[in-house]
Amino acid sequence: MSRVDQKLEEIEETIRNEVPAGISISDVTFEGPELVVYTRDPKQFAQDGDLVRRLASKLRKRITVRPDPDVLTRPEDAREQIESVIPEQAGVTDLDFHADTGEVVIEAEKPGLVIGRHGATMREITQEVGWTPEVVRTPPIESSTVANVRNFLKQERDERRDILERIGRQIHREEMSDDQWVRITTLGCCREVGRAAFIVSTPETRVLVDCGDKPGAEGEVPYLQVPEALGAGASSLDAVVLTHAHLDHSALIPLLFKYGYDGPIYTTEPTRDLMGLLTLDYLDVAAKEGRTPPYDSEMVREAIKHTIPIEYGDVTDISPDIKLTLHNAGHILGSSIAHFHIGDGLYNIAFSGDIHYEDTRLFNGAVNEFPRVETLVLESTYGGRNDYQTDQEDSERKLKEVINDTYEKGGKILIPAFAVGRSQEIMLVLEEAMREGDIPEMPVHLDGMIWEATAIHTTYPEYLRDDLRDRIFHEDENPFLAEQFNHIDGGEEERREVTDGDSAIILSTSGMVTGGPIMSWLEHLGSDADSKLVFVGYQAQGTLGRRIQNGWDEIPVGNGTGRSNTMKMRMDVETVDGFSGHADRQGLENFVKTMNPRPEKVLCVHGDESSVQDLSSALYHEYNLRTFAPKNLETFRFL
């Protein structure tokens, strides 16, 4: 008998001793980090609201209880009974029964009413019909990405279950080494912005944190070929953790599956969906520009199939000696700080990913309280000594001034923006400014993936700032449904109509002017001296956005057909700081200064060379921390 089977037998025995007489336990198995308990008495199980909580506490495992398929109420009868239990105002839009696991997926406009206070309504459903309810939100704005991901996972349910059982056995395998050490190896984003990738390794486990590309630098990818990474084979990785979906962190996640990786990806649910959206677009842009994509769409589907979503604050076993907890990073939808608890209190590491420390219109600020942290790996995008951003109120005031000035001249405002995060932030500013009369009402055209990314935001309002979440729950107050927002989906003809029309605001991807529809808008509007190009986000070195920001006025045109021609740009260029999803220098210092507990060591990464060195030096001098500004391919050994 394997160690895992022996452990499952011991767990099953413990559960049998804990549950009241008359409740049967027919099977216990691992699915990923969760312990799944099968019973022929799901209704009795549901009567004791604290039973699962007590078992989870005793076993220190996340527990899901499922009924044996042969004790379930028929779906036709169960549907009627479930609908009678759930309040009508919950807005149930679909019930999907899965007899193999005894789960019923309930899609509703207001999931909270399906869950009930402390899960009371869900327990009542199980008491009535025996089925285990799983609740998902009906998107207020229809999202093809969310629909496609849900449908795909439904189709792949059997295979995904096999994957999760295999992963579960890997997580709970016996530890093989008595050695105790922890290492971090830097594979990218050191003294540069982009291609984020790190390996966390112990004698037992190897985890890859992020795997992105470098914007504006084709071919510069993380050093995956080295022995610490995939040099020993992709299958030697135990897990991948993705902090957020921006391509400089996620673009090459699917490539791992091309190289033979077959393990889990841990991230939040919205990050999973956004990863799918952005990586598929990444392939599309590469094809349109005549570049050979590094992988195909099948690898994106593999990545989604292997993703295990976890919620903020949930402590999750990802290997025999590592527990992972994700915390809000305040950067984009679903962005996380990844906290690793290694061994039995042996060592703790936090990877900031990208963070925004203060609250924004979209998100609550980054979490910086942890049980323990010995080493912090900290982004330094705006870590330079002069990288202080304008505060939000001043930034919004300047943006409104630029819009009013351009409107009076009869021009158009073109804003390159990341589809995820900055676009939604700007949309909220524009919606409020027009509603309150601070700027004239005019169309706001959303090009590229912005509308689809916005739909995903409305699917996961629980990840947004508290007051914004409440507005989205009320359809008539949902700011993203304001009538001035227009989704551009007609291609060049629709763009020409906007160009020839009255004053308007255009939000378009890509945010760093590295391809995509922004190139077409520059071709249409670049020669118009009355119009303005307004940068509201970070422009990395080597990108066309940075060059234009620095004064270039000869821009390539051709819209993906080789771009052999150039055009003299006559439109004004403005930069409005303060809308970045990154903390500025003061925000980064405050994040560390108020961090509880304060780390012993800080690795400053994900910033230009001067930025990481400036921040590293400041944290050392001001807070007496051991700080480093590592280069790529360095390994830090702890203990």
Feature table: binding site: 244, 246, 248-249, 331, 354, 606
Element (H, E) at 153: helix 144-155
Positive or negative, the CA dihedral 137, 140, 144, 145 is negative
| Two tokens, residue 150 | 């849900």
Q: Residue 578 in contact with residue 394, Cβ under 8 Å? A: yes
Instruction: Give residues with Cβ within 8 angstroms of 43, minimum separation 6.
Output: 126, 127, 128, 130
* Residue environment code for 530-541, b if the CB has 16+ CB neighbours within 10 A, otherwise e: ebbbbbbbbbbe
Q: What pairs with residue 415 in β-bridges?
A: 507
Tokens of 470: 């409440």
Distance CA 437, CA 172 (A): 59
Q: Which residues are annotated as a binding site for Zn(2+)?
A: 244, 246, 248-249, 331, 354, 606
Q: Judge whether 55 and 113 are in contact, CB under 8 Å.
A: no
Residue written as token pair 């990341």: 418
Kindly state the DSSP code that residue 319 receives in the 8-state scheme: E
User: Which residue matches tokens 């979490």?
Assistant: 367
Closest residue by Cα to residue 158 from 94, 101, 105: 101
CB atoms within 10 A of CB 498: 20
Name the burial class of residue 562, with classes exposed (0-12), middle (13-18) and buried (19+) by CB atoms within 10 angstroms of its CB: exposed
| Structural contact between residues 67 and 115, judged by C-beta atoms closer than 8 angstroms | no
CA–CA distance, 489 with 483 (Å, rounded to integer):
16
Closest residue by Cα to residue 139 from 406, 557, 371, 461: 461
Residue whose token pair is 């409440």: 470
Sheet arrangement for strand 601-605: 316-319, 322-328, 336-342, 347-351, 375-379, 601-605, 626-628
Residues 6+ apart with CB under 8 A from 369: 595, 596
- CA 546 vs. chain centroid, Å, equals 25
Rounded CA separation 216/547 (Å)? 11
**How far is Cα 251 from Cα 233, in angstroms, rounded to an integer?**
20
